[in-house]
A and B are shown apart, each in its own frame.
Chain A
């Protein structure tokens, strides 16, 4: 997981498998990294697999952001990961965007 600032947005890039083991490995660091910023974009382009325990991680971060008036969006998911996100209904509550331009517009 990496963290950087870009255009006033905190960019959190996740990589690898976000299965039960992968989610467990980053849970504490991801929650801490996403909880101190007003505009957070989670880059999923390096994620090749996502299971419900990884989705749980994203829902928790989204809910925490919402509670403090911050915004959190997802972007860059490959076709398989995007299908998992839409099937699980995660995109109903956390925006799933296709590109950085869309992220910048959503978080402007």
Chain B
């Protein structure tokens, strides 16, 4: 199996960070994006949406995407803003996974039948304008797209 291309990646010209996929990496990633969003002057609702979606995306990677990889894997986050929009991209060497293609879970009818987990993707869909995914040079590039001129409409 060929090695993935070296870091930094194609998004190195944007605000970016590289973190280790440890147990609470989702919290560290959320803190990074919240600080970036605050620097951009985004409102509290946008900041909440970005923090939440980045935590969910990274937590999903740590819990499911890297289980067959050696410990100490790294992942990258890059953030860009343009008038009215912001995009945050997670780049990782985990299992190939198109989060944008996951089926929407149905309504839960009872507490007894409810799943304990599985709400992260629902939250990401609800707090972004859209999710994008590309497979580039053996890496997942998952992008969260936010509308920043007002709260996401969904």
* CB under 8 Å from chain A, chain B span 89-111: 105, 107-111
Q: What are some 19 contacts across the A-B interface (CB < 8 A)?
A: A19-B27, A19-B30, A20-B24, A24-B24, A49-B48, A52-B117, A52-B119, A52-B120, A55-B119, A56-B116, A59-B111, A62-B111, A66-B111, A67-B112, A88-B119, A88-B122, A89-B107, A93-B108, A93-B110
Chain A residues within CB distance 8 Å of chain B: 19-21, 24, 49, 51-53, 55-56, 59-60, 62-63, 66-67, 80, 84, 87-90, 92-94
The SS class assigned to the A binding surface is helix
Chain B residues within CB distance 8 Å of chain A: 23-24, 26-27, 30, 44-45, 48, 51-52, 55-56, 59, 105, 107-112, 114-117, 119-120, 122-123, 126-127
Nearest chain A CB to B16 CB, angstrom units: 22
Nearest chain B CB to A31 CB, angstrom units: 12
Q: Give the residue of A51, A89, A93 whose beta carbon is less than 8 angstroms from that of B52.
A: A51
A60/B123 in contact, CB under 8 A: no
Nearest chain A CB to B51 CB, angstrom units: 7
B59/A92 in contact, CB under 8 A: no
Inside 8 A of B26's CB, which chain A residues have their CB?
Answer: 19-20, 51
Question: Given A19-B55, A20-B55, A52-B117, do A87 and B27 touch, yes or no (CB 8 Å)?
Answer: no
